[in-house]
């Protein structure tokens, strides 16, 4: 069997087009959705992520505001900034790019965001609403995975879903979303016994671990759907090991190397072996990755719709 490659770029584009139509409808009613991105310090990857989010806003006609604060910002200063954004009518979504510098306490910061503007869906009010099956803003990456499964017509009711990873950002909310759609859900984590055997019981196997190419064909039941959430940039000795284990990655690495990039981006699944057993799978890059920003835009528009009715 050769797995169908699920095209996350196409699905992300579809969602963006739908969001664009919704933005136009809101503008007809005099509402311009607005997103504030708060970036503290100069973490290079965070700068890239925030820049991409702002670009997505611009391409969809969503008002965006970048709040860049210095590395030495205190928790109190960041809380003040969030309180200002909470009060601003032109801002419907607030995201604080993580990780924050070490001196800042993350919990009070996430708690300070108005839950109605919490477009990352990480506020305990939204996490609680998800657990209770009530309306609220859902975390973007898990929602993106659900969009992939829905748009690919993968049946969830009664299906066995195994989620490897139980973080508050990905694994846990994703398991709850699958449960809401009547899947029978098993969470796995670093202390799960017989991980391969548990994973092999899955009709839908999700890897959200952060370990390059950990999930091999031995984890996959023939015909299962594999969703790879992992994004791992591998370089150095780890890269040599990876290329030795999966020579099919070498051409991609050579292309990177010719551009002066001495690393490669891989998921948590080993595509070359998993794709021989699964019926469909998301690749890395080009699978779940492009969905996260599309869902951030969708959440911002949802927040604007709800707040403008108040
Ligand atoms: P975390 O590090 O917060 O969580 C990782 C989870 O994997 C933990 O629950 C951990 O278990 C579990 N785990 C670690 N090692 C093993 C193991 N050997 N066997 C079984 N389980 C294990 O990561 P995130 O959830 O934030 O992210 C997961 C991956 O998804 C990363 O690669 C990240 O880069 C990617 N990601 C991708 C996004 C996208 O846009 N596509 C967005 C966000 C994340 P335990 O709880 O026991 O420690």
Structural domain total, the chain: 2
Q: Are residues 284 and 202 in the same domain?
A: yes
Q: Going by CA atoms, what residue is nearest to atom 39 of ligand 1? A: 289
pLDDT digit string (tens) for the chain, length 310 residues:
799 999 999 999 999 999 999 999 999 999 999 999 999 999 999 999 999 999 999 999 999 999 999 999 999 999 999 999 999 999 999 999 999 999 999 999 999 999 999 999 999 999 999 999 999 999 999 999 999 999 999 999 999 999 999 999 999 999 999 999 999 999 999 999 999 999 999 999 999 999 999 999 999 999 999 999 999 999 999 999 999 999 999 999 999 999 999 999 999 999 999 999 999 999 999 999 999 999 999 999 999 999 998 7
What pLDDT shows up at residue 130?
98
Clarify whether residues 211 and 279 are in a common domain: yes
Q: Is residue 176 part of a domain?
A: yes
Q: Are residues 99 and 169 in the same domain?
A: no
Whether 158 and 218 share a structural domain: yes
- Cβ burial, residue 167 (10 Å; 0-12/13-18/19+): middle
238 is a domain residue? no
Q: Which residue ranges have their beta carbon within 6 Å of ligand 1?
A: 141, 164-167, 169-171, 188-192, 195, 208-211, 229-232, 288-289, 292
CATH number at residue 66: 3.40.50.10860
Residue 222 is part of which domain span? 140-231+267-291
Same-domain status, 146 and 221 = yes
CA of 231 to the centre of ligand 1 (A): 9
**43 and 167, same domain (yes or no):** no
**Cβ atoms < 10 Å from Cβ of 234:** 19
Q: For residue 248, is it within any domain?
A: no
Cα–Cα dist 205/215, whole Å = 10
Which two tokens mark 235? Answer: 């370089």
For residue 235, list its beta bridge partners: 263
pLDDT for the residue 5: 98
286 and 170, same structural domain? yes
d(CA 229, CA 146): 12
Residues 189 and 209: beta-carbon distance below 8 Å? no
pLDDT value at residue 310: 72
Helices (runs of H) and strands (runs of E) counted in the chain: 12, 11
Site to substitute for ligand 1 among 189, 193, 218, most atoms within 8 A of C-beta: 189
Q: Are residues 145 and 219 in the same domain?
A: yes
20-43 pLDDT per residue, tens: 999 999 999 999 999 999 999 999
Residue percentage of the chain with pLDDT more than 70 = 100
Hey, CA dihedral for 306, 58, 130, 96, is it positive or negative? negative
- Average pLDDT taken over every residue of the chain: 97
Annotated active-site residue 120? The verdict is yes
| 86 shares its domain with 175 | no
Residue 255: inside a domain: no
Structure tokens at 4: 């169908």
Per-residue pLDDT tens digits for 141-186: 999 999 999 999 999 999 999 999 999 999 999 999 999 999 999 9
Taking every pair of Cα atoms in the chain, the longest distance, rounded to a whole number of angstroms, is 58
Residue 98 is assigned to a structural domain of this protein: yes
Residue identifier of the C-alpha nearest atom 19 of ligand 1 = 190
Residue that terminates a domain, selected from 115, 148, 177:
115
Q: Is 200 found in the same domain as 94?
A: no
Could you tell me if 91 and 189 lie in one domain? no
DSSP string across 33-45: -EEEEEEES--HH
Q: Which residue among the candidates 118, 120, 203, 268 is catalytic per the annotation?
A: 120
Asked if residue 278 and residue 158 are part of one domain, the reply reads yes
Would you say residue 11 lies in a domain? no
- Residue 1 confidence (pLDDT): 77
In a domain, 146, yes or no: yes
304 within domain boundaries: no
Say what the pLDDT of residue 287 is: 97
The CATH number of the domain where 177 resides is what? 3.40.50.720
């Amino acid at each position: 069997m050769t797995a169908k490659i699920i095209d996350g770029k196409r699905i992300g584009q579809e969602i963006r087009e739908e969001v664009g139509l919704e933005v136009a409808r809101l503008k007809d009613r005099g509402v311009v959705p607005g997103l504030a991105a708060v970036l503290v310090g100069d973490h290079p990857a965070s700068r890239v992520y925030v820049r991409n989010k702002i670009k997505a806003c611009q391409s969809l006609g969503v008002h965006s505001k970048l709040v860049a604060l210095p590395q030495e910002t205190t928790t109190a200063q960041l809380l003040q900034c969030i309180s200002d954004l909470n009060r601003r009518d032109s801002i419907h979504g607030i995201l604080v790019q993580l990780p924050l510098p070490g001196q800042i306490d993350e919990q009070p910061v996430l708690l300070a965001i108005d839950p109605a503007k919490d477009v990352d869906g990480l506020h305990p009010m939204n996490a609680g609403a998800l657990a209770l099956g009530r309306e609220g803003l859902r975390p973007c990456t898990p929602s993106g995975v659900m969009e992939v499964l829905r748009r690919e017509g993968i049946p969830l009711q009664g299906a066995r879903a195994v989620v490897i990873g139980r973080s508050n950002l990905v694994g846990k909310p994703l398991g709850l979303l699958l449960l809401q759609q009547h899947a029978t859900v098993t969470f796995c984590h670093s202390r799960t016994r017989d991980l391969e055997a548990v994973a092999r019981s899955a009709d839908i196997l999700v890897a959200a671990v952060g370990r390059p190419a950990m999930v091999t064909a031995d984890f996959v039941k023939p015909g299962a759907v594999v969703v790879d959430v992992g994004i791992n940039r591998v370089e150095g000795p780890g890269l040599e090991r990876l290329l030795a284990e999966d020579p099919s990655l070498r051409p991609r690495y050579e292309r990177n190397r010719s551009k002066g990039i001495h690393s490669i981006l891989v998921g948590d699944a080993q595509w070359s072996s998993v794709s021989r057993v699964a019926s469909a799978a998301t690749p890395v890059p080009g699978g779940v990755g492009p969905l996260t920003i599309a869902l951030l835009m969708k959440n911002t528009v949802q927040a604007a719709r709800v707040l403008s009715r108040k």
